[in-house]
């Protein structure tokens, strides 16, 4: 379907730049297919591509699964979330339609390049992360806030596998600075659950696992469907 | 000087869009004045402007000082930092010249809009922060990683007032979600020092101080001039 659409666009001599970057609109059905950011792009380094290929191989027997990743929430997921959890005072339809997922809001290659893989049996989420030039903290190294963000994203996805949840605590030890544009492996695992509380551990390591850059614990709380966010 | 430059540009009918956004180049001297992002722009809400004006008044007697804020480090600061602390293996001149400060890397109004004020006697840093539409976490609210970032920035500036330092630990309690586009006040204060360790506390509150959104502690360590970052 995509290929046929692309062929029609070429036939109509529509230049690629005119087409929206993050969304493909199929003329025949008007169905929108959002761009999946958890797939390789030209900014990915050799290290990131190699690791991606290794994990894609692990997915073949079904033990691991790659997570798709979007800039905006799918419309239905968004509506369900709002109806269940958001106080109508905070529902600004226009704002929400224009909002973007923070970790996907920078341009290709300059911000957060990452892909996540989940192992359901082990309750483990692995994020392969390359921090671009616009994530700088001290000169030459990734900002502590950007590291906190990728930790929040990875532990968050690990939590959400158990139900809709929000971050209640992040406790992060920054052990070594991460050089800009290098690739690191963020591994998070559900340690224990207590009622609606989900305790998750997390490490950020070099690809060869010899360097531990960052270590963290996270506490997520599953949202109570009888309570609204205030 | 800036006004005369603008007048000349208008006289030459140079459209404003052609001028670089982050940098003003003065034709006469070729001196580059980087844009200070800690000043109001059209995306700032009434709340943020009012608070800014209040703090600017507090600066009049010299007890508080507004901090300028740039996307890139001034060249000399960068060189000094690299010479003193960065292992030559990590010095990629081309990368560093293209890198941008993470908290200033999103477009005007869509990311982190903030200004910081410092009280030297109280060792207190206040950051007035408006989180734009590209900082979204759960629909309608600011991402936990974006909150961690503004906390790291504010506590970090509080630490750097004591000497060049890097984040060693951030412990963040997320108490209430922060609605997108709202204005909050991030207050951080040096609690104690132990050798090269700097302990800093931080709160994120509503403008009326009635809502405590986030509470955090941070540990920064002053860099040892005899050791390189590895």
The complex's ipTM works out to 0.85
To the nearest whole angstrom, how far is the Cα of A190 from the nearest Cα of chain B?
A: 19
Q: Does B177 touch chain A (CB under 8 A)?
A: yes
For residues A123-136, average pLDDT: 97
**A192 strand-pairing partners:** A199
Alpha-carbon Rg for chain B, nearest whole angstrom, is: 19
Give tens-digit pLDDT for A32-67. Answer: 788 999 999 999 999 999 999 999 999 999 999 999
* Secondary structure string (H, E, C) spanning B39-56: CCCCCCCHHHHHHHHHHH
What per-residue confidence (pLDDT) applies to B28?
A: 53
Chain A environment of B90 (Cβ under 8 Å): 140-141, 179
Question: Which range is least confidently modeled, A222-226, B4-8, B183-187?
Answer: B4-8
Contact B146 A102 (CB under 8 A): yes
Q: Are B150 and B132 in contact (CB under 8 A)?
A: no
More confident residue, A8 or A126: A126
For residue A172, give the nearest of B95, B99, B170 by CB distance.
B170
For residue A229, give the nearest of B142, B166, B177 by CB distance.
B177
Q: What are phi and psi of A138, to 5 degrees?
A: -70, 150
Q: Are A2 and A33 in contact (CB under 8 A)?
A: yes
Contact B140 A91 (CB under 8 A): yes
Question: Best interface-test mutation with B: which of A139, A171, A173 has the largest number of B CBs within 10 A?
Answer: A139
pLDDT band at A96 (very low <50, low <70, confident <90, very high): confident
User: What pTM does this model have?
Assistant: 0.85
pLDDT band at A203 (very low <50, low <70, confident <90, very high): very high
Contact A174 B168 (CB under 8 A): yes
What per-residue confidence (pLDDT) applies to B230?
A: 63
Contact A146 B145 (CB under 8 A): yes
Cα dihedral: B34, A139, A37, A172 (round 10): -120
Q: Are A93 and B182 in contact (CB under 8 A)?
A: no
**First-residue to last-residue Cα distance in chain A:** 43
Q: Does B146 touch chain A (CB under 8 A)?
A: yes
For residues A102-129, average pLDDT: 97
Q: Which of A73-77, A136-140, A163-167, B132-136 has the highest mean pLDDT?
A: B132-136
Give tens-digit pLDDT for B150-173. Answer: 999 999 999 999 998 999 999 999
To the nearest whole angstrom, how far is the Cα of A130 from the nearest Cα of chain B?
A: 14
For residues A175-199, average pLDDT: 97
Q: Are B62 and B119 in contact (CB under 8 A)?
A: no
For residue A149, give the nearest of B136, B149, B179 by CB distance.
B149
Kindly report the average pLDDT of chain A as a whole number.
85
Question: Which range is least confidently modeled, A56-65, B2-11, B55-64, B111-120?
Answer: B2-11
pLDDT band at B182 (very low <50, low <70, confident <90, very high): very high
Q: Taking 70 as the threshold, does the pLDDT of residue B25 lie above it?
A: no
Is the CA virtual torsion A11, A12, A15, A16 positive or negative? negative
B50: nearest Cα among B202, B185, B152: B185
For residues A218-224, average pLDDT: 93
What per-residue confidence (pLDDT) applies to B170?
A: 98
Maximum Cα–Cα distance for chain B, whole Å? Answer: 59
């Amino acid at each position: 379907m995509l290929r046929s659409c692309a062929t029609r666009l070429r036939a109509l001599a529509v230049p690629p730049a005119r087409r929206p970057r993050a969304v493909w609109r199929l003329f025949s059905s008007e169905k929108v297919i959002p761009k999946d950011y958890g797939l390789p792009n030209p900014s990915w380094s050799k290290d990131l591509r190699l690791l991606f290929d290794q994990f894609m191989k692990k997915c073949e027997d079904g033990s691991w699964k790659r997570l798709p990743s979007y800039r905006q929430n799918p419309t239905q997921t968004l509506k369900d979330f709002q109806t269940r959890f958001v106080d109508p005072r905070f529902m600004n339809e226009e704002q929400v339609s224009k909002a973007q997922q923070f970790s996907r809001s920078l341009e290709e290659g300059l911000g957060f390049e990452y892909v996540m893989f989940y192992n359901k049996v082990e309750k483990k989420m692995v994020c392969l992360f390359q921090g671009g030039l616009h994530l700088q903290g001290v000169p030459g190294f990734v900002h502590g806030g950007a590291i906190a963000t990728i930790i929040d994203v990875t532990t968050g996805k690990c939590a959400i596998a158990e139900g809709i949840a929000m971050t209640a605590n992040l406790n992060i030890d920054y052990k070594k600075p991460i050089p800009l544009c290098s690739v690191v492996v963020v591994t998070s695992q559900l340690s224990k659950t207590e009622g609606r509380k989900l305790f998750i551990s997390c490490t950020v390591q070099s690809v060869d696992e010899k360097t531990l850059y960052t270590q963290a614990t996270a506490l997520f709380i599953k949202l109570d469907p009888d309570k609204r966010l205030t």
